[in-house]
Amino acid sequence: MAETVTIASWNINSVRARLEIVERFLAEEGPDILCLQETKVVNDTFPAGLFRQYGYNHQKLNGQPMHHGVAIVSKIPIREDDRLDWQANGEARHIGVRLDNGVRVENVYVPAGGEEPDRTINPKFGQKLDFIERMIEWSSSLSDKPTILTGDFNIAPLESDVWSHKQLINVVSHTQIEIDLLARLQASHDWVDLGRKFFPAPERLYTWWSYRARDWSESDRGRRLDHMWVSPGLADKAVSHRVVEPIRGWARPSDHVPIITEFSF
């Protein structure tokens, strides 16, 4: 008998600062599993109680003070608790779990990479590239393990993943070196990009809009920075995928919006 599981990913940009919209999202959408990035909270002060009120009794946290931080909260059992240091400096940017059906869920927050796409003058950009190189090494060794890789990748790979390819091709998140590196990551396990499986290019598909815009929806200068990829054998288990775009217009929003995939296992 098929089991339906919905998995959401959301860079919340401080979970405690956004409790109101988090609660509304849980009430209105209520995915079975929610992967959060940029929680910006230590594990002891993560708002675990709020999530338990909505049935998320299974929680795996990898937090740190003020910066970064990832978490997976779930209504269904999640096992194990991997924390891979792809940043190689202890930053809390990954947490992975296993579902009872054997599927792995890996939640990642890739570094933004700073402003200048040049590692010689901007060490943060070099850290981002090295982070993805370590992900490639990990991904290449997965073999036939059924895996869902999701989170804030901080790269918009396709021309149609940004509001203007021409204006952003030299802007961090859409530079050719990042695009090529992400393509290598995708090829390392033949990952299936569910966003583009359900919304083929050149269809508009954004998950992030800058706070700098006076009216984010009118200017619509978006980028697709948040992704959900699956091992090839899981591709046909995904029955729907969507971006919950209206949340960007809620009170005190994150600059990212959630993505949600429904699986039939």
Q: What does the pLDDT look like over 10-65, one tens digit per residue?
A: 999 999 999 999 999 999 999 999 999 999 999 999 999 999 999 999 999 999 98
Chain segment 160-190, per-residue pLDDT in tens: 999 999 999 999 999 999 999 999 999 999 9
Q: Tell me how far apart the terminal alpha carbons of the chain are, to the nearest angstrom.
A: 9
Assess contact for 32 and 7: CB atoms under 8 A: yes
> What sign does the dihedral 89-92-94-99 (CA atoms) show?
positive
Helix, strand, coil abundance in the chain, percent, nearest 5:
30, 25, 45
How high is the mean pLDDT of the chain?
Answer: 97
Does residue 1 register a pLDDT over 80?
no
Nearest to 222 by CA among 123, 143, 156, 138: 156
pLDDT at site 214: 85
**Number of domains composing the chain:** 1
pLDDT at site 144: 86
pLDDT at site 225: 98
Whole-angstrom distance, CA of residue 53 vs CA of residue 75: 11
Computed on alpha carbons and rounded to an integer, the radius of gyration of the chain in Å comes to: 17
Phi first, then psi: give them for residue 175, nearest 5 degrees.
Answer: -75, 160
Whole-angstrom distance, CA of residue 124 vs CA of residue 130: 10
pTM flag (> 0.75): yes
Does residue 2 register a pLDDT over 90?
no
Query: What CATH number has the domain bearing residue 211?
Result: 3.60.10.10
Range of the domain at 251: 4-264
Chain segment 81-130, per-residue pLDDT in tens: 899 999 999 999 999 999 999 999 999 999 999 999 999 999 999 999 99
State how far the alpha carbon of 146 is from the alpha carbons of 28, 215, 235, in Å: 29, 41, 10
Q: Where are the beta strands (DSSP E) in 14-137?
A: 33-37, 58-62, 70-74, 78-82, 94-99, 104-109
